[in-house]
Amino acid sequence: MRPTIYVAAVLALFAFAPETARLVLVAAAGILIESLPYLAAAAALRPRLGRHAPALLAYAGCGCTPGPSARSLPAALACTLLFGPWVALGRVALGTLAARLPSPHACEHEHADDLAAELLGLAPAALLAAGVLAAAPLLDLGHRPAALAILAGAALGLGAGPCALGTVALAATLRTQSPLAAFAALACGGMVDLRRFAPRLPRAPGGGLAYALLACVCGLVALRHGGGIVHPRLVLPLGACAVLCVAAALRARRAERPHAAIVAAALLAAVVVGAPLPVYRASETTLADAFAGEHLRFTGVYHAQPHAALVRFAITCCRADAHPVAALLASPVHARDRTWLRVRGVLARRGDALVLVPSHVQAIAPPSDPFVYE
């Protein structure tokens, strides 16, 4: 697929749904920025690990290296916390088997030790995964036939597959709508590397401009402690990446190919411009471990419709896996829609849902970082 097709698709999305386009692009930027430390480590270690490099890096990384991303042990840890150890082990086992299957297309590509070239190869898959993760809450799979929910979950899992942590986050989101769709996404997501079937963008080692822009991206996100795009725990690795990119920019000797520089410039624009919070569409609380009678203090954005609720978005790794943590309120409060509130109260059970019965409601200024981190 030619680069002009990607550009046309992005421009069309901006023309018809600008807010959605911003959310998708920033989510894709989050996937790429989150992958930078792993790609940099892989580029540095690959020559030293010899023929074992592809397998070792596939298990140790976030799933951004070539091949089935379900082998990622960091993603398996997240899956263990959300779905239990047997589901996580099953995904790793299936990913390992899938990696041994013959393929008409090679997973590896030229310039595998070049960070900018690796990032360029991941960019289309990151954009696809971000679009899939953004579309999932719109499908309302809880009200679909079981067969359709399974097929939709499998398709969403395949689309999100290049981002292993994103696949787990997608399944966690789908579980509130349809457990069948969630497990179908886990069963299919990350088992096939869609990058091996797609025509590749023109590949060449990154030039000085691409690395200078990537250094700005890493440095800016690190200085902003994640900037609401990636988890703050990635600050130090991204700071190291900034230093590596500066060194690569200084020693670049090859003529600049524009594609890697364009991707790096798009990442910098996403970091600088940012995006609004994801749209809240859930209707039930996601406080899974809460219980009736528990005292709770919750800070979030007030949504009056469809049910009065306070919402805060949580990030596991990057903006692509941002998911709502919501507290349903027993009744609407006297506050404007989409304002920030701090509410204290007690949880009570109303039917199948837990609701927060407020005892104190306080309007507050929007926090400097609207996300919470897991």
| DSSP one-letter string for 301-315 | EEE-SSS-EEEEEEE
Residues 139 and 152: beta-carbon distance below 8 Å:
yes
Cis before 306? omega within 30: yes
pLDDT tens digit sequence for 290-332: 667 778 788 888 888 777 888 888 887 778 777 778 888 888 8
Task: Answer whether residue 364 shows pLDDT above 70.
Answer: yes
Which tops the pLDDT comparison, 191 or 253? 191
Give the tokens for residue 217: 């991206």
Tokens 């996404």 correspond to: 185
Render the burial of 263-286: b for 16+ CB within 10 Å, e for the rest: bbbbbbebbeeebebbebebeebb
**Kind of pairing between the strands at 295-303 and 340-350:** antiparallel
CB atoms within 10 A of CB 211: 26
Give the tokens for residue 163: 């981002």
Which tops the pLDDT comparison, 238 or 323? 238
Residues 220 and 267: beta-carbon distance below 8 Å:
no
Tokens 């130090």 correspond to: 236
Give the amino acid at 202.
P
**Kind of pairing between the strands at 309-315 and 340-350:** unpaired
Task: Answer whether residue 356 shows pLDDT above 70.
Answer: yes
Helix axes 18-49, 3-16, angle to 10 degrees: 150
CA–CA separation, 162 and 63 (whole Å):
7
CA–CA separation, 333 and 6 (whole Å):
45
Mean pLDDT on 329-340:
85
Average pLDDT, the chain: 78
- Computed on alpha carbons and rounded to an integer, the radius of gyration of the chain in Å comes to 21
Q: Which of 28-42, 67-81, 101-115, 197-211 has the lowest mean pLDDT?
A: 101-115
Q: Coil, strand or helix: which one is 297?
A: strand
Nearest to 214 by CA among 166, 270, 253: 270
Residues paired with residue 323 on neighbouring β-strands, in sequence order = 314
CA–CA separation, 65 and 356 (whole Å):
44
Residues 183 and 196: beta-carbon distance below 8 Å:
no
Residues 35 and 231: beta-carbon distance below 8 Å:
no
Alpha-carbon distances of 317 from 33, 98, 164, 320, 355, rounded to whole Å: 10, 25, 11, 8, 28
State the pLDDT at residue 89.
92
Helix axes 164-175, 146-160, angle to 10 degrees: 160
CA–CA separation, 23 and 135 (whole Å):
11
Task: Answer whether residue 38 shows pLDDT above 70.
Answer: yes
State the pLDDT at residue 118.
78
pLDDT tens digit sequence for 127-147: 878 887 777 777 777 777 888
State the pLDDT at residue 283.
44
pLDDT tier at 20, thresholds 50, 70, 90: confident
- Domain boundaries in the chain? 3-273, 295-373
Task: Name the CATH topology of 295-373.
Answer: OB fold (Dihydrolipoamide Acetyltransferase, E2P) (2.40.50)
Give the tokens for residue 104: 């008409």
